[in-house]
Amino acid sequence: DACLSAATGGALCANADWPREGLTVRGDALPLALIQPWLPPQNGRQIYLRGELTVDGSLRPRGNAWQGGFRIASKEGGIRLGERPYSADVGNPNRGELVRYDQFSINAEFDPQHINAKLGVGFQGNGFIDAKFDTGWDAYAPLNGELYMNMSRLYWLELFVAEIDQPKGLIEGHVSLRGTRSQPLLGGDATLSDFSADYPSMGLTLSEGKGRFDALPDGSAKITASAKSGEGTLNVDGGLSWYGEGTPLQLNIRGQNVLAYNTSELRIIANP
C-alpha cells in the first residue's frame, strides 16, 4: 500500500498489482480544498471548495475493456468564488457559497459488457439532481440514461456564465438518453421559470425570464427562451442535435428595443 495524508486530516491509499489484480484506491475524509490550487480562476475570481470526500474503487483490465467500480461520496459542502474585481465599486460584496450541497454520491460499476453509473445530490432544501446511465464500451452499444432535476437556487450559474450576478429562478425537468453511444437520442423536457439576473459591469437587469427544452421525435431537441431587458424582450430559439456535420447547438437571437448596455458612459438599445 501507498498512502498520502493531508495536514488538515484525511488520507488516500492505493494498492497496485498491474495487470493481474489491478488497482485499488480508498480514501477517507479527503478535504476538497486540496484541489483548489489546480482550479483555474473564473473570470479572475478564485474558486474555493468546502467539504470532504470518501473514495473507494478498484480497476483491472479485461481484454479490450475494464472491470471494477468506484464510489465517491460527500455528506455536505459548498463552492464559492472570490470577490469580483469591481465589487467594491458596485456595492456587490461576496455573498458566500454559490453552491451548497448535501448527500452527494457517484456510484459506477463496469465489466467487459456494461458501464453502469448513478449520481445523486441534494441542494440543502433547494432541489436535487438524480441521474443514471447504462451503456457498453463500443460506439454501437445501446444507451440508456435518465436525468431528473429540480433546482430553485441558481447562484451556481456564476461559475459558468461570465459577469452574471444574483441569478434567480427555477429549473425542473426530466431528460432521457436513448439510441447508441455514437448516435444518442434525446427525450423528455425541462423548463426554466421566473428567471432574473444582473450584469453589473454592463448595467443590465434581466427579468421575467423563461425557457423550455423539448425533445423531438427524431431524437434532437428544441430550445426556446426569453427575458426582458429594459423596455424590450430578448428571444432565443434553436436546437440541439448530434446528427449531421454542423454545430450540435444552434441558437437564433432576436428582439426589439432590447437594452444591451446601460452605464454612465454608454447606453445601447438594440434590435438583434
The reply to whether 145 falls in a domain is: yes
Say if CB 131 and CB 144 are below 8 A apart: no
Q: What confidence tens digit (pLDDT) does each residue in 203-218 have?
A: 999 999 999 999 987 8
Peptide bond between residue 184 and the one before it cis (omega within 30 degrees of 0): no
Q: What is the predicted pLDDT for the residue at 84? A: 66
The reply to whether 209 falls in a domain is: no
Question: Which residues pair with residue 190 across a beta bridge?
Answer: 173, 213
Q: What is the predicted pLDDT for the residue at 89? A: 44
The reply to whether 116 falls in a domain is: yes
The reply to whether 63 falls in a domain is: yes
The reply to whether 188 falls in a domain is: yes
The reply to whether 245 falls in a domain is: no
Q: What is the predicted pLDDT for the residue at 97? A: 93
Total domains present in the chain: 1
**DSSP state string for 122-182:** E-TTSEEEEEEEEE-SSTTSB-EEEEEEEES--GGGGGTSTT-EEEEEEEEEEEEEEEBSS
Residue 43 has pLDDT above 60, yes or no: yes
The reply to whether 106 falls in a domain is: yes
Residue 130 has pLDDT above 90, yes or no: yes
Task: Supply the pTM of this predicted model.
Answer: 0.86
Q: What is the predicted pLDDT for the residue at 270? A: 95
Q: What confidence tens digit (pLDDT) does each residue in 61-107 have?
A: 888 788 999 999 999 999 999 876 655 444 444 458 999 999 999 99
Residue 114 has pLDDT above 60, yes or no: yes
User: How confident is residue 262, by pLDDT bands cut at 50, 70 and 90?
Assistant: very high
CA-CA distance, 155 to 148, in Å (whole number)? 19
Going by the DSSP 8-state scheme, the letter that residue 94 receives in this structure is -
- Residue 87, H or E segment: helix 87-90
The reply to whether 261 falls in a domain is: no
